[in-house]
Structure formats: structure tokens, C-alpha cells
Amino acid sequence: MSNREVVILSVGGVRFVTRASTLQQFPESRLARMLNGDDQEFKLSNGDFFVDRDGTLFSYIMDFLRTLQVSLPTDFSDYQRLQREAEFYGLYPLADLLSQEHLLKPRLEILEVRFSFQEMQAFFRIFGSCSTTVETLSEQITVFAGQQSGQSWNSPFPSQKPLVPLPLERPSHHDMVFQCGTNYSAGDQFVARYVSIKPDNRKLINGTNVLGLLLDTLLKDGFRLISTRTVSSEEKVECYSFERMKRPPGLTVRVRQNPGSPGAAQAKRSQVQKGK
């Protein structure tokens, strides 16, 4: 039986087809011993291995064996049951990961956009509970500055003069500040600021247009708009609050090769790291 290349398992009535090498990722597990006929819990019937366990949860165990990663749906809640199944199959690295629910559960993420409009300028401040999200968003947003002469502040076309990209203000790791529109400088000269938000290629100067594109970008990124409110009617400050359930990064078990078994792997419980 150990020479099989393709193995068929029936777990609680659910059929799985996989390679023997996948089941042998952890040679000390019961799944690996099953192929050698060393575990009577697995009955061989008509060429299929049968085991009376939960077939739905076994699909997550197969995914782990194929990828060495734990990546569960955002609505998953059966951590203890899946941990018990992992222990049954002798997959202790997986069981150890599942015991650390705080690393695997999705987190509620809050993001707030404050928008104010003053004369010919619009001001934006974005605050996020997750600094990584704010950093990623700041990489999508670029502010360009240039001079215009005798043009309307909300002209849809940039000045013919070269535009210079400006760094965003980052008061902290959790927020960013930028603005668009024009400042009257001297004579008929205007200093104009345009905003571009990737993957959109437009350079927008009108604050309302920038706000619309920003909100649309957040919605496409999985955020949900939960409230809008006016913070200050005198200063015309509006606040848009968003939230989303953010999946944690996949957790990966590092394995070291067993010199005696090419392609097989051994894992220690302590060998756990965050997957990239």
C-alpha cells in the first residue's frame, strides 16, 4: 500500500483524492502510517480508505497538507473541533496553530475619512486602526503640485508645466493628510494640487471628485460604509466611517527534510512563522 501514488479516502462519506506524498508530509502522523497499513482506524474497502470522522473539517486538513498553511474562511468558528481532528490524525503542528485562535481569527478594522472644504481647497485626513492598511493606501495616493496661470481652480486639465509629486503628510503610522485645489499666490498665478489614486490614472483637482474616487476605492477594497456625519458645520467638516473584517495572514509551518525519506518532511511544534 505504501507504493500507491494516488490515494482515495472516504472521510465521513466525503471522498478525497490526493497523492501519497501529500499524506506523507508528516511521517509520524496517522495518515502516513495508514499508507503502511500500520493503523487499523483506517479501513480499506474497495481500494478506498474509510475513516468515520468529519469530512467537512477534513477538507481544511487536506488544504494544510497541500500548502503547509492555515487559511480559514472569515466566518469559520469550529477551531476547537478542527484542533481535535488535527490531534486525531497526529498533525500536531496544525493542532498547535489552531490552539492560537487569536492568530487565526479575522479582525475588525476601522477606517475614518475626514473631508473639509475651504474656499478653493479640499482637505483630507484618513485615520485607520491598522497601520498596514494606511501604509498601503498611502502608496496608492499621489499629490502633484504645479502652477497655473489665469485658469479656473476646478479646471479638469492640468497645467502644461510639469507637475511635481509631493509626499503625503504622515502625522503617525495610523493616519495621513493631503489636500487638493488651488492657492492664489501672486498676480494671476495659482499653485494647484492634483490627486491621483491608483489604479485610476486621472489627476483630479476638484475635492468632490477626489472624495468620490477615494470612497469608491475603499468600497472596492472590502470596506463597508457604516456612517456619515458632519463634525463641524461651520468649518464644513464631514466624516465617513468604514469597517471591514480583515483576514489574518496565512500561518505557515516550517518543515525540515527527513534525510531518510526524500520528499517527506518532519515538523517541530515550535517551528511556526507567519506566512508572507
Q: How deeply is 36 buried, as exposed, middle or buried, from its count of CB atoms within 10 A (0-12, 13-18, 19+)?
A: exposed
Mean pLDDT, range 255-262, rounded to an integer: 45
In the block, residue with C-alpha cell 472569515: 74
Q: Is residue 126 in a domain? A: yes
Contact at 8 Å (CB) between 29 and 91?
yes
pLDDT in tens, 214-237: 999 999 999 999 999 998 767 789
The pLDDT confidence band at residue 9, using thresholds 50, 70 and 90, is: very high
Mean pLDDT, range 249-269, rounded to an integer: 47
pLDDT in tens, 43-52: 888 888 999 9
Pair 83, 142 in one domain: no
pLDDT at 267: 39
Pair 221, 95 in one domain: no
Within 13 A of 38's CA, how many CA atoms are on the CB side?
Answer: 10
Q: Is residue 77 in a domain? A: yes
Range in 83-92, 112-121, 220-229 with the lowest mean pLDDT: 112-121
Q: Is residue 275 in a domain? A: no
Q: What is the CATH number of the domain that holds 63?
A: 3.30.710.10
pLDDT in tens, 163-182: 889 889 999 999 999 999 98
Q: What is the DSSP letter of 53?
A: S
Number of structural domains the chain divides into: 2
Q: Is residue 253 in a domain? A: no
pLDDT at 99: 86
pLDDT at 255: 55
Domain that holds residue 23: 6-105
pLDDT at 249: 61
Pair 18, 144 in one domain: no
Pair 140, 208 in one domain: yes
pLDDT at 257: 45
How far apart, in Å, do the first and last CA atoms of the chain sit? 36
Range in 116-130, 131-145, 195-209, 224-238 with the lowest mean pLDDT: 224-238
pLDDT at position 256 over 60: no
3/17 Cα distance (integer angstroms): 16
Q: Is residue 135 in a domain? A: yes
pLDDT in tens, 141-159: 999 998 766 555 455 444 4
Contact at 8 Å (CB) between 215 and 207?
no
Residue 83, number of CB atoms within 10 A of its CB: 20
Q: Is residue 226 in a domain? A: yes
For residue 193, give the nearest of 235, 118, 142, 119 by alpha carbon. Answer: 142
Written as nine digits, the cell of 104 is 487565526
For residue 204, give the nearest of 259, 252, 157, 138 by alpha carbon. Answer: 157
Contact at 8 Å (CB) between 180 and 168?
no
Q: Is residue 269 in a domain? A: no
Residue type, position 171, single letter: P
